[in-house]
Structure 1
Amino acid sequence: MSTLTLTAPGAAATATLRRLTDTVRDIARQPTLLLSWVVVLVAVAWAVVPDVFTDASPYEGDSALSFAPPGWGHPFGTDRLGRDLYSRAVHGASATLTATLIAVLVALTVGGLIGLVAGYFGRHVDTAVMRTVDVGLAIPSLLLAMVIVAMLGYSTRNIALAVGIASIASFARVMRAEVVRVVSSDYVEAADGVGARRAAVVLKHVLPNSMSSVLALAALEIGTSVLAVASLGFLGYGAPPPEPEWGLLVAEGRDFVGQYPWISVLPGVLIAALVLSSHRIATSFRRSHQETS
């Protein structure tokens, strides 16, 4: 008995290490996936420890260096106030990624709960809830987010809430479909048949077996939320200047694109790289989930 107790954790640890090694090996074999992970990890590092990557101030500038092109001292060049754009991009990653994370968590939590209720209880509850969700899906998410921000007030935090609320319907639809599939399975019907409490059935059987597709959607939604947060920041719904939010960085250079394109182009490249990289990683997650299921 003691041998089994000692060897089981070791076997589990070995299996976990083997899966991790296989995952790293698979990533290394795919150059685009490896590059995507590098981009995402660099963006996260910028958001967490920006001072490690630059010691320049994102707010203070030198008028003598206005519109300096990209070079050794200023990798992304400078803006009209002589502020270092690389430093502003690095420090701006925190606002953009934090807003993205909040938006995805709001959509996942609220949308998942709505879909769970609709799928588990069914009938009239399902009909009423999902018709409301259909209305939400019919409204363009960016337009809905703009309306919500206009109601809440202009700030990066309100952008995060607005983007999250605008994405709730998509998560509710996916969660509801998964719950309906799980509820009709034999083990859930057996649990109901032996008189198990509804809360226990939901927490032990329905919810854990319904989350895989919803989590895959959450991974995919990260890139979409980054783009939505940056778009609203570009339109002026986010933090006011001089905050270094990525969408605002693009907006600040739109009047100088013809003469000094790096002011808008380089922050725009960062946004595009992060969106494409997150989508590539989410696609790999979804493909591996489909192969194992």
Structure 2
Amino acid sequence: MPTTLLSRHPQIATADPEQARDEVARRFCPHRLELTRRTGRLDMLHNAAAIGPDVTLNYLRYGDEVRITPGRFDDFFLVQVPISGSARVKVGDRVVASDRVRGSLGSPTEPVDMVWSDGCEQLLVYLRRQAVEELAGGADDPRPVVFDPSMYLETPSLRAWLRLVHLALDDIEAGGALFRSPLAATHFEQTLILGLLAAQPNSSNEAPREPAAGSRVVRTVMGLIDAEPERAWRLAELAGEAGVSARTLQEAFQRELGSSPLEQLRRTRMERARRDLVEADPVHTSVTDIAARWGFFHLGRFSQSYRAMYQELPSQTLAG
């Protein structure tokens, strides 16, 4: 029998509709759950693993056809991508016929009502509302973020975003080395959220734009990064320190440096890792120790990135 997604992270398996409803409500929100046929039988399975505090990946199935009526999510966004079967998802006044090429995206302020078909299995990406809205605009745009609920998964931007999701799934299934560090988890969560904001139409893309930020803002943020590269900086924190929105800060870095604040944070950590490798005693220190100190827990990827920057492997630097 094929292995289900996130099989190492089981949450609940049950044939009892009340237990299924209560356990899913505890992890998501209160809702109604009904088998649509009198002869229907529940075969519910929920697996889940958090990347960090803001993004959780889930596998969920119910077996026979069910209707799920949560109303508004309130404090989270939910991406639903069918792995098998299909779903009819009503978000606000829009209805999405969801299948393997079209996902759905529920926003916190929009009522949701859905029917999952027989055999429907879904990959669900839970994103905390506060984290999404901080990155979308923060205090400079207090309006709620509302996404287009229909996600055509074959667009290049959404295919790229799903590759990030599957990278996270693969790492979690392999033991989660990438996300053992809060530094790595925070960076990856923000990349996922920013990627979704860029890939899927939403109200923040239509918001009035504040004046462009200049070099002063970039210098301020680079100073913060240089002073505390070991800190698990969030983009919204850096933007708040600079007195601009997260979006404006992103645009300023792109314009001035051709990269993002989080890319610069990663580069600074790589520079500090190189400094430590140069100064370390190879008898008493390993590449793994230094990489982990700076939030690089996937040694293969660290070595590839390091070689691309410095034209040698970290082990060569350490050996002198």
TM-score, normalised to structure 1's length? 0.32
Between 1 and 2, higher relative CO (CA 8 Å, sep ≥ 6) is seen in: 1
TM-score, normalised to structure 2's length? 0.30
Greater percentage in strand: 2
Structure ID, larger Rg: 1
Greater percentage in helix: 1
